[in-house]
Amino acid sequence: MASRWNSGVSIILLFSFPELLLSAVVTLDSLEIYKNHEWLGSKPKVYFQCSGEKKAALPDVKKTYTVYKFKGEESFQPLTEFSSKKCKRCGFYEEEHIKFDDVFDEWEFCPSDFAASDGRYIRTVDKEFNATFFVAASAIFVAGLVVAYKYWQKRKRQQEQARFLKLFEDTDDVEDELGIDSI
């Protein structure tokens, strides 16, 4: 329950205050390809790339109609990072040696795609692929925000208690000045 709450808070923070988050790391959660663009039946060499960034080769993805699940710890992870609300042009490709690489799909990949409370984004292209991406904001940053919020609540409560006690102390001074004895 706590991790779901933290994930929800992370997503809200990502969209509300992107300048506070240094980066949102995007990992590939699962991938299933439906079409192999190879002519001679050889195994495809699938990769993910955002324009201006390095290729993230997916060496395990070799067969069509097989769901590949990833832990986010693989050597090709993370796929990319968002450091602002700005979108990136990204896609899945199949490496070719003779001609240009085949394109499964290219799209504008945006932080706002991760609107689900669990931090996941599902991209499906008919007859090509089905991919699930995951973004987790920095757990240390979220924990720091929670601690800061709790500290702020505690200080606010202490200030309210001090005001309340001062209210009664001020009343006693007025009674003393007027010479009214309390019974």
* 156-180 confidence digits (pLDDT tens): 999 998 888 877 665 556 566 666 6
SS3 120: strand
Mean pLDDT over the full length of the chain: 74
pLDDT the model gives residue 67: 86
With a CB cutoff of 8 Å and minimum separation 6, the contacts of 84 are 18, 19, 111
* 115-133 confidence digits (pLDDT tens): 666 778 888 888 878 888 8
Q: What is the token pair recorded at 177? A: 């000045």
63: amino acid identity, one letter: K
Residues, the chain, total? 183
pLDDT the model gives residue 157: 92
- Structural contact between residues 88 and 141, judged by C-beta atoms closer than 8 angstroms: no
Q: What is the token pair recorded at 46? A: 């699938």
SS3 139: helix
- Report, as an integer, the average pLDDT of 55-63: 83
Q: Which residue is it, tokens 């973004």?
A: 135
Of 176 and 65, the one with more pLDDT = 65
CA distance 130 to 124: 4
